[in-house]
Amino acid sequence: MFDVLVEMFSYPFLVRAVIVGALVSLCAALLGNSLVLKRYSMIGDGLSHVGFGALAVATAFGWAPLAVSIPLVVLAAFLLLRLSDNSKIKGDAAIAMISTGSLAVGVIVLSLTTGMTTDVCNYLFGSILAMNKTDVYMSMVLSIVVIVIFLLFYHKIFAVTFDETFARATGVKAGGYNMLLAFLTAITIVLGMRMMGAMLISSLIIFPALTAMRLCKTYRSVILCSVVVSLICFFIGVVVSYLYAMPTGASVVMVNILAFGIFAAIAAVKGKVKKPA
């Protein structure tokens, strides 16, 4: 086992991928709790599709992928929140519209320029080779920003998540914190998307939170547990994908599903089965 790890980390691209992946897993787990509890899980999924469209356009024009996709996805996040608040088009329908729309744009742009090559497959399902040095530095800085902001506003995020009406009534700017949450989610999704794949990145946000909620009873313990679960699942996933030459993103998701199953089983054995959130 140890030999495998040494061998793995002798490849610089794998070291980069593991650093970025671990940071993204951490951010995703932190944010995922609030998103799942606020019934915003689908926003993560919608944003990853917007990210796919943005990546395709950036590649077609030869622009830096992160510099193009981060502002676009942040914009889409704010738009989705607006639509969720506005009752004319319901939140889930709005997300479906925007996500399929950007997927279509992305596919058309790609087929007109580079053609439907393995690149497309990499965008959709992730590639561990996608990270260059600039990406790594940018991911590290942005992940740290996400983590620091989350810690600074931890109590307010809890209050807005638990009871938005009460928070608003006592003068907390709940709308602002929803925006903040959407903003941080957008950044996390773009950072993780190329490794995990546009189709799979939202699982990093949803699974650790749901897994932790099977067993933990306070908000703080759910957050801590989901972070630990997320990191462990990511490492196991990467090692498994290396050993059996499987796609990294999909392996990480599979390990997350297993972890969820184990936690749910333990909860069931304890006789405290809860309705899925």
Residue closest to 252 by CA, chosen among 207, 191, 187: 207
Residues in the chain: 277
58-66, 111-119, 156-164, 200-208 -> range binding other proteins (CB under 8 A)? 156-164
Q: Say whether residue 7 binds other proteins (CB under 8 A).
A: no
DSSP annotation of 116: S
Residues in 53-72 at the binding interface with other proteins, rule: CB under 8 A: none
Binding mask 194-233 for other proteins (x = CB under 8 A): -------------------x--xxxxxxx-----------
Q: Of the candidates 166, 175, 246, 270, which one interacts with other proteins according to CB under 8 A?
A: 166
Cβ atoms of 17 and 128 within 8 Å: the answer is yes
Q: Which two tokens stand for residue 29?
A: 């787990």
Q: Which is nearer to other proteins, 115 or 276 (CB)?
A: 276
Min dist CB 231 to other proteins, Å, is 20
Say which residues have a Cβ less than 8 Å from residue 245's Cβ, sequence separation at least 6: none
Amino acid identity for residue 34 in this structure: S
Min dist CB 141 to other proteins, Å, is 21
Cβ atoms of 177 and 156 within 8 Å: the answer is yes
Radius of gyration (Cα) for the chain, nearest Å? 19
Min dist CB 145 to other proteins, Å, is 16
Residues in 77-136 at the binding interface with other proteins, rule: CB under 8 A: none
Q: Which is nearer to other proteins, 8 or 216 (CB)?
A: 216
Q: Within 10 A of 9 (CB to CB), how many other CB atoms are there?
A: 11
Q: Which is nearer to other proteins, 75 or 169 (CB)?
A: 169
Cβ atoms of 201 and 189 within 8 Å: the answer is yes
Angle in degrees, 0-180, between the axes of helices 65-85 and 174-196, rounded to the nearest 10: 140
Q: Say whether residue 173 binds other proteins (CB under 8 A).
A: no
Say which residues have a Cβ less than 8 Å from residue 266's Cβ, sequence separation at least 6: 214, 215
Q: Which is nearer to other proteins, 87 or 118 (CB)?
A: 87
Q: Which is nearer to other proteins, 48 or 84 (CB)?
A: 84
Min dist CB 268 to other proteins, Å, is 16
Min dist CB 165 to other proteins, Å, is 5
Say which residues have a Cβ less than 8 Å from residue 232's Cβ, sequence separation at least 6: 259
Q: Say whether residue 155 binds other proteins (CB under 8 A).
A: yes
The footprint of other proteins (CB under 8 A) covers 37-39, 151-156, 158-159, 161-163, 165-172, 213, 216-222, 274-275, 277
